[in-house]
A and B are shown apart, each in its own frame.
Chain A
Amino acid sequence: MMDTKINIPKNTEMTSVISIKGVNKWYGDFQALSNIDLEIKLKEKIVICGPSGSGKSTLIRCLNRLEAHQEGTIQVSGIELHERMKDIDVVRQDIGMVFQSFNLFPHLTVLENCMAGPNWVRGIDKSEAKERAIAMLEQVKIPEQADKYPEQLSGGQQQRVAIARSLCMQPKVMLFDEPTSALDPEMVSEVLDTMIELAKSGMTMICVTHEMGFARQVADKIVFMADGQIVEQNSPEEFFNNPQHERTKAFLDQILK
């Protein structure tokens, strides 16, 4: 387990990029989220962890409204997300999202995957979109795969392309929904390294992950969820060395064995 804290730019402004207040969500009778309050500031790196079924994925998917919450408010850059909103697509353009199952577009090459967003919705012309795509693929260290199709790549490579695809939109926030859970063990680190690089560049990041080494290295704040609630949120030092709740202790015992 790496313990060295790397040098990551801290949030200097106090403005919230994402503001979650009193959010509740139900699937039928099952309450998936209850009374969630969370503020995420510019350049902050948040890691959300917790046992499966604790609502952490549901919460992160509410932040770009892939899922709908039923009570409370979620504001992204001051815009409230609700079901009557007209311009959800504009809000989503500024929120990158990386999925557990990559979700690259299989009929497009790696380069086309990365050009699609800027070219189709940002209105950037093809040559510029291509330049940007190549730059981002260099950032995730796979420019040589640009002309391949996703299924020709390994899982780790696909996930890095997915990160590059999101970055091409030049988002304000990046959401990671268990980005390494579907990967073979030897590919986890290449994706985590990419995410650490991204953290260093000052990106605002919200990561649902079980990678505690990554959390320790990168996170400004670790949010622990169980049963749809935020049980505890703290700095990594406090969270790992001095957990407050029994649930947190039990979880850490399990995961850090």
Chain B
Amino acid sequence: MFVDTVIEDKALHKPAFLFGLFIAVLAIFFAFNFTDTFFGEFLRPVIGEPKESGFYGRFAVSVVLAVLFVLNLFVISFFRLKLQIAIVWIELFLLFLAFAYSFDLKMSFIQSRVGLMVTQGLFTTIYISAVSIVIATVIAIVGAIAKLSNNGFAFAIASFYTSLFRGLPLLLQVYLIYKGLPQIGFMVDAVPAGITALSLCYGAYMTEIFRAGIQSIPRGQWEASRALGFKFSLIMRKIILPQAVPIIVPPTGNQFIAMLKDSSLVSVLGVWELMYLARTLGQRDFRHMEMLLTAAMIYWALTIVLEVIQARIEEKYKQKN
């Protein structure tokens, strides 16, 4: 998207919009009734005992919250763009923390187990994902070329493969490979079975991404290469794929992030990765929320790292062009 050169008035600086926003927010806060929370407690001097403040208390709390909300947006609107983004991020993150805090978490419990979650769980998750993405990439290149070829066998195998593995739920694939392969004589451990399932599933999706990337390179590039006497493999390696990579990177990064989280499905095989530990570590002490939220934060942090890496790669290609 390209920003237009004409600056429009900010909606947040129009009284009518601010008033409308205030009314809407007020209605939402009123509907949810915050009187028996921290906010009601805060307004005790005005509304008296929150639980008995009734309609008036509920309204007063809503008004205060709505004023704060609209004022907050109004103030932020004066900052420059980057600062606005940072402040909104921080505020949303604080809201998320408040949500987590509402579970009455026992921090010492988290501290005593987070070490194992990182050394055992995080390591296993990254290991499974990284190996799978490498295999999936190789499958995707081969699959994409097969799907674009005129070879009937290659096309049939590749399209059957993508159809099957995009058509089944990943969880089902994990079970089928783990339980199914021993039936035909292959004993597989849980981790290799998980890696196989993830590679095959994501290889199927990425086959389509790679195919689209290869197809987006104009015909003229093929013709110029052929006119110079390049053979197919040379054209692919030196001309087409290098140009397809910048197109393929964003959706592939997306797939990698998705895979990182889908690796949690391998936990059903008893692999000690993040999700498995999150479910089991809290079980004995009925401290589920602590472990689940810890795992959530680790997954999130991990995907932020991946997002940054992806942005860096995209930036690199942008500079080159």
Contacts and interface: CB of A to CB of B under 8 A. Distances in A.
Nearest to A87: B229
Contact of B223 (A96, A103, A120): A103
A92 B224 contact: no
A121 B220 contact: no
Contacts of A213: none
B226 A116 contact: no
B168 to A, nearest CB: 37
Contacts, number: 65
B321 A151 contact: yes
A169 B228 contact: yes
A92 B226 contact: yes
Interface in A2-49: none
A99 interface: yes
A103 to B, nearest CB: 4
Nearest to A89: B229
Interface in B110-164: none
Given A107-B320, A116-B238, A149-B321, A99 B224 contact: yes
Nearest to A165: B228
B254 interface: no
Interface in A93-119: 93, 95-97, 99, 101, 103-107, 116-117
A96 B238 contact: no
B214 to A, nearest CB: 14
A256 interface: no
B226 A66 contact: yes
Contact of A106 (B227, B228, B243): B243
B238 A120 contact: yes
A107 B242 contact: yes
Given A103-B221, A120-B234, A149-B321, A90 B227 contact: no
B248 to A, nearest CB: 14
Q: How large is the interface on B (under 10, 10 to 19, 20 to 34, 35 or more residues)?
A: 10 to 19
Q: How large is the interface on A (under 10, 10 to 19, 20 to 34, 35 or more residues)?
A: 20 to 34
B25 to A, nearest CB: 49
A66 B218 CA distance: 15
Contacts of B221: 103, 105
Nearest to A97: B227
Given A89-B230, A120-B230, A169-B229, A105 B321 contact: no
A99 B228 contact: no
A229 interface: no
B239 interface: yes
Interface in A200-247: none
Nearest to A149: B321
B80 interface: no
A105 B227 contact: no
Classify the secondary structure of A's interface with B: mixed
A162 B224 CA distance: 9
A157 interface: no
A116 B238 CA distance: 9
B284 interface: no
Contact of A92 (B218, B228, B238): B228
A14 to B, nearest CB: 27
Contacts of B239: 105
A104 B226 CA distance: 13
Contacts of B243: 105-107
B10 to A, nearest CB: 37
B82 interface: no
Contacts of A116: 228, 238
A229 to B, nearest CB: 25
Contacts of B228: 92-93, 116-117, 121, 165-166, 169
B14 interface: no
B231 interface: yes
Interface string B220-264: 110111111111001000110011000000000000000000000
15 contacts: A64-B226, A93-B228, A97-B223, A97-B227, A99-B220, A99-B223, A103-B218, A117-B229, A121-B230, A121-B231, A121-B234, A149-B320, A151-B321, A165-B228, A166-B228
Given A99-B224, A120-B230, 9 more contacts: A90-B229, A92-B228, A97-B227, A99-B220, A101-B220, A105-B224, A105-B239, A105-B243, A121-B229
Interface of B: 218, 220-221, 223-231, 234, 238-239, 242-243, 320-321
Interface of A: 64, 66, 89-93, 95-97, 99, 101, 103-107, 116-117, 120-121, 149, 151, 162, 165-166, 169
Q: Which 9 A-B pairs have the closest CB atoms?
A: A93-B229, A103-B224, A103-B220, A97-B227, A92-B229, A89-B229, A117-B228, A107-B242, A121-B229
